[in-house]
Amino acid sequence: MAISLNARVSILKGVGPTLEEKLKNLNVARVGDLLLHLPMRYQDRSHIVPLRNVTFEQECLVEGQITACDINFGKRRSLLVTIDDGSAVLTLRYFYFSKQQQDGFAIGRYVRAYGVARFGPKRLEMVHPEYSTSATPLPAPVAALTPVYSTTDGLGQTRLRKLTQQALALDFADDGNPEATTSWPLEQLAYLHQPPADASAADIERVQQAIAFDELTAYYLVMQHRQSQRQQQQSLPLPQAQQLGRELLSQLGFKLTNAQRRATTEVLNDLARSQPMLRLIQGDVGSGKTVVAAFAAIRAAEHGAQTALMAPTEILAEQHYLNLSAWLTPLGIDVVLLTGSQKAKERRAGEAAVADGTALVAIGTHALFQRTVTFHNLALTIVDEQHRFGVHQRMSLRNKGQVPHQLVLTATPIPRTLTMALYADMDVSLIDELPAGRQPITTILVNNNRRHDILERAQAIMNTGQQVYWVCTLIEPADELPASAAEPTLEELQQALPGYRIGLIHGRMSGNEKASTMQAFKAGEIQLLVATTVIEVGVDAPNATLIVIEDPNRLGLAQLHQLRGRVGRGDQASHCVLLYKSPLGKLGQTRLQVIRDSQDGFFIAEQDLKLRGPGEILGTRQTGEQQFRIADIARDAVLIPKVIEHGKQLLANDPAQAQRLLATWAPADTGTVGV
Ligand code: ADP
Ligand code: MG
């Protein structure tokens, strides 16, 4: 019987509601999704390794006849099965076993096992290998590589393999719509689920890339589709009105950089239109994106319309609030802050002001806005995304009015090829210039055995009235990690530097505690702040001129660059000390050298992409979000120009195929493609 690839997985034999739920965790809802859930890697179970040839740590398939089966009552009870293939003997060891299993290992029976060989007390053994037994010689092994899938709790490899095999055996060719399957790379998918035993890594990668090309094309089409949908929507046009922006400009106390001026003009031009703006402002840490956002909010306010500014953390929301209220309140624009740690009464008052439209600018965290706030007439949303990529795509606020304009601020220095693919639905303004007078940050790598020197350095800095960040990657010590933790480091520094005002900030503190600690640091009441990476995003204390980062090799390059950007924000020379513990390893050393030698966020991102892959850069690794099923942006970035060309071609010449690609890869986005 023919079956649709879009049918729910529950049509497969053995898939009930529980399993269906589990499969959803793997992003598998349709039968076709099961085919798109490709193996992470493969095992070679296509040939049997003679026992004589098995070596330490080899992962392999072996076979033999059982010559002994005993329970060993040593330190830990275990079942020992000895097998012999005529060339040598090997032990299979099971710590967990049933009576039934034990009986299955009768002397003389044939066993085939797959596992890793390790040294046992007498000879090589495999601990808990997968196995099958038989009274007669076993049939030849399958002539294909065995897939290993990423999976979820309670769903084993064997079950997943069998399901995939079941799906692959279905007849999709004729489900009433002969065109429906043409966009599914069925042959290639079948190949990847079961590559021939002699397939090389390069063979496999070639097929993966061919499929990735389809996926990226579909992604491009989705972006184009969204863009054309957006062009049909209406937003409140916000043309030039009063001259409040000029007033701010004259009161700022600094001159905008050319890049800031350009970005502001681009934003204000977009806002004047009735078509919703969707613009990304990309600018390195400290490039001054906030003030551009302020001009946009002022423009909305001139029309009596509201702006929502969303920050990724409470500290940052608080800081935006301080900046924006200082800039906008004198212009007669009411700004409110909404955070989860506010007193309920205070927050309700803020929410009421947002709901009745008296507050024209509301600042808060992403989470909070999505949960509780309704706007009176929201005309503009600003998302400060820092390096959490892709937040804007899921952002929808409750608003009584029209579709708001959207501005996204990001410090993520995404290489250009990636921007083209990932932000294909957005316009981009680049702030590629730092404010004048910024002192460069000198970065040095220092071995932890010279910790004492660094303590003296911190002391000297504090003696000049300047301030210090001291960053640890952990809050408390963890046995398994040889990394410094913030709490003991605080004690150490308090003892080593008596009489200095030393504070602590970390992610487990309440929002209020964090905010007041940050305030105290900004006000100079704290001279040295021991911190975790909570300070990495956007925190601004211009008098801090030294940042010490412990165990820098535990952090991504983009993250290190962000952290380093906490200093060098004023007009004094600043320093960053990367305090590492040896051994660093070759890759670790190379990575830290990249940071030491460059302050160019884009260059660092490109190096990071080369050295570590895109998860780090796009923040997807930290957040566990996955952008693509099959495409790997680091590997497949080279395809992107061709993807864009192909996507355009499809839209122009073969919209039906474009439609089918979308149906395969992005069923939720399937509608009318912009043709
Ligand atoms: P980011 O782009 O990292 O968000 P901010 O907007 O926080 O940067 O700006 C960093 C600091 O630089 C702030 O203290 C801000 O007031 C200041 N600043 C912004 N633009 C300029 C400028 N043109 N000249 C001098 N200082 C500026
Ligand atoms: Mg910022």
Same fold? 51-141, 248-431: no
Residues with CB under 5 A from ligand 2 (ion): 538
Q: What CA–CA distances, in Å, run from 255 to 12, 250, 341? A: 65, 9, 36
Domain ranges of the chain: 9-43+150-199, 51-141, 248-431, 441-598
The residues, ordered by sequence, that sit 6+ positions from 461 with a Cβ below 8 Å of its Cβ are: 467, 468, 545, 546
d(CA 616, CA 139) in angstroms, rounded, equals 46
Q: What CA–CA distances, in Å, run from 522 to 288, 319, 569? A: 18, 10, 12
CB of residue 435 inside a 6 A radius of ligand 1: yes
CB of residue 256 inside a 6 A radius of ligand 1: yes
Closest C-alpha to ligand 1, atom 16: 288
- Contact predicate 512/291, CB 8 Å: no
pTM: 0.66
Residue 440 alpha carbon to ligand 1 centre in Å: 15
Q: Is 58 in a helix, a strand, or coil? A: coil
Residue 550 alpha carbon to ligand 2 centre in Å: 24
Question: Which option is the CATH number for 441-598: 3.40.50.1100, 3.40.50.300, 3.30.390.10, 3.40.980.10?
Answer: 3.40.50.300
CB of residue 566 inside a 6 A radius of ligand 1: no
Question: What local confidence, expressed as pLDDT, does residue 397 receive?
Answer: 59
CB of residue 569 inside a 6 A radius of ligand 1: yes
Question: Which option is the CATH number for 51-141: 3.30.70.60, 2.40.50.140, 2.60.120.10, 3.20.20.80?
Answer: 2.40.50.140
Token pair belonging to 342:
């506010």
Residues of the chain with pLDDT under 50: 389-395, 613-626, 671-675
Residue 566 alpha carbon to ligand 2 centre in Å: 11
* Neighbour tally for 600: CB within 10 Å: 14
Question: What local confidence, expressed as pLDDT, does residue 614 receive?
Answer: 44
Architecture of the 248-431 domain: 3-Layer(aba) Sandwich (3.40)
CB of residue 386 inside a 6 A radius of ligand 1: no
Question: What local confidence, expressed as pLDDT, does residue 620 receive?
Answer: 37
